[in-house]
Structure 1
Amino acid sequence: MESTFADLAAHCIALLSHIPAESRIIVAISGIPGSGKTTLGTAVVSKINELWMTACAADAEKATHKTQICAFVPMDGFHLTRAQLAAMPNAEEAIARRGAPFTFDPESLLSLVQKLRVPVSADAKSIYAPSFDHAVKDPIENDIKVLPTDRIIIIEGLYLMLEDSPWNQIADLMDELWFVNVERAVARDRIIRRHLEAGIARNEAEAIKRADESDLVNGDYIVSHSLTPDKMIISIQDDRIS
């Protein structure tokens, strides 16, 4: 897996040579629940920054720009809040199906990506994105900072490749779309384990029910309604993957 992370990181850095210095490369990583999107995304971001810092240290011309250049933005921060779900006409379904496309705020995510696409000027300021607090089960506004020096942005989330509007408008703004492919049974096992470890489910029966009636329903929709990716990445069995 390490070589895959390094190859993908080197690929992203190479893309920078084909764009103006004030522009960014934005990559979307999608896949069904339990595919390993987060593990892949965080590892690639770490490797990009590691490779860049190493290159800067070895190149006197780049030494003045010795700073990390890659930021990671998970889509989880664009969940609707529990209060918003409770106020919906189909509140019971929305709460039970939290994680489905209609329980997110894609318009706000689209707005963020549009801001990231604006060329970075000399006086550019940081751009902020929301994170998700799993302890309180709600987003935290402006918790992730994207610096003007961040020239590669990795965005990770379930629905970044959906053909449905407005998700497809988000996909259109990406430089590349990566899809993490995983066997459905492997994803199911990971999801059940994650629900138990995170306290999302009180017992195995509840974790299985949530996986089968929500997470994998969402996963099946993703598989049948996604755009064609630029890269298909095969997920491997790894205890770190969730």
Structure 2
Amino acid sequence: MRGTIRLTPPEMLARLVPHILAMESAARGRRLAIGLAGGPGTGKSTLAAELVTLLDAVRPGSAALVPMDGFHMQHAKIEAMGLADFKGAPHTFEGAAFAGFLHHLKRATGPVSGPGYSRRIEDVVENAFTVAADVRVLVVEGNYLLLPEGPWAGVRALLDYAAFIHVPRALVEARLLRRHGEEGLFTQERNRAHIARNDLPNYDLVETSRDRADVVFELEVPA
């Protein structure tokens, strides 16, 4: 399954599930990493979680979610570096640590715990998830999985299959405004400024990496 395909989110998942199951069968016990990449606000976190649920419905316990967001730098570190206004940009992540963690996960024979990210506190939460020893498919999701620069450059080689999720920029902007306002941590003016200064440039950067995916899904989604 290659090229650019225009589908609804449920149709995308319906395409991916049998493809991944076939890959798993052919892997003969080797652990696979399936990447879902895309800019902020494209819905990839929700889709990745749904993909894990669907894979587990067919083969219980076979899939696990591995979010890149847990490798944000700690907020205190970002503030100390004077980068709070650019939180979420590639250089505010522990990219090398993420690549190393994924490399370890692919070869691990026992349970491995990893960090997550809480939007409620806008910070990293240690040991937010655990990948069990018998998991065969890692569903890895994040903005920067396909970037060819810096510490991110090594991630693509660790992905056995990579899908890129595209959603129109205007819709992404509206989604991000809702997302930033959900927890009520900041004013709407601050959120609009942050999105314009940081999130949308990150979206534009991530879009330049779409050609490194095995397949691009241009999603048909409601406003």
Instruction: Give me the TM-score of the superposition, normalised by structure 2.
Output: 0.90
Match of residue 109 from structure 1: 98
- 1:224 maps to a residue whose letter is T
Q: Distance in 2 between matches of 1:107 and 1:82?
A: 18
Aligned partner (choices 4, 16, 31) of residue 8 of structure 1:
16
CA shift for structure 1 position 221: 1.4
CA shift for structure 1 position 103: 0.3
Match of residue 73 from structure 2: 80
Deviations 1:139-180 (A, max 9, x none): 122221001111001011110110112212011111011110
- 2:106 maps to a residue whose letter is R
Q: Is the 8 A contact 1:68 1:149 kept in 2?
A: yes
Q: More relative contact order in 1 or in 2 (CA 8 Å, sep 6+)?
A: 2
Aligned partner (choices 133, 140, 156) of residue 118 of structure 2:
133
In the alignment, structure 1 segments of 5+ residues that lack a partner are: 53-66
Identity of aligned residues (%): 28
* Alpha-carbon RMSD: 1.7
Match of residue 4 from structure 2: none
Asked whether 1:26 is paired with 2:36, we answer no
Match of residue 143 from structure 1: 128
Q: Distance in 2 between matches of 1:235 and 1:200?
A: 30
Aligned partner (choices 215, 219, 222) of residue 231 of structure 1:
215
Q: Distance in 2 between matches of 1:137 and 1:155?
A: 21
Structure (1 or 2) with the greater strand fraction: 2
Instruction: Give me the TM-score of the superposition, normalised by structure 1.
Output: 0.83
CA shift for structure 1 position 135: 2.5
Q: How many residues align?
A: 215
In the alignment, structure 2 segments of 5+ residues that lack a partner are: 1-8
Larger-gyration structure (1/2): 1
Alpha carbons of structure 1 residues 200 and 158: separation in structure 2 relative to 1, 3 Å: farther
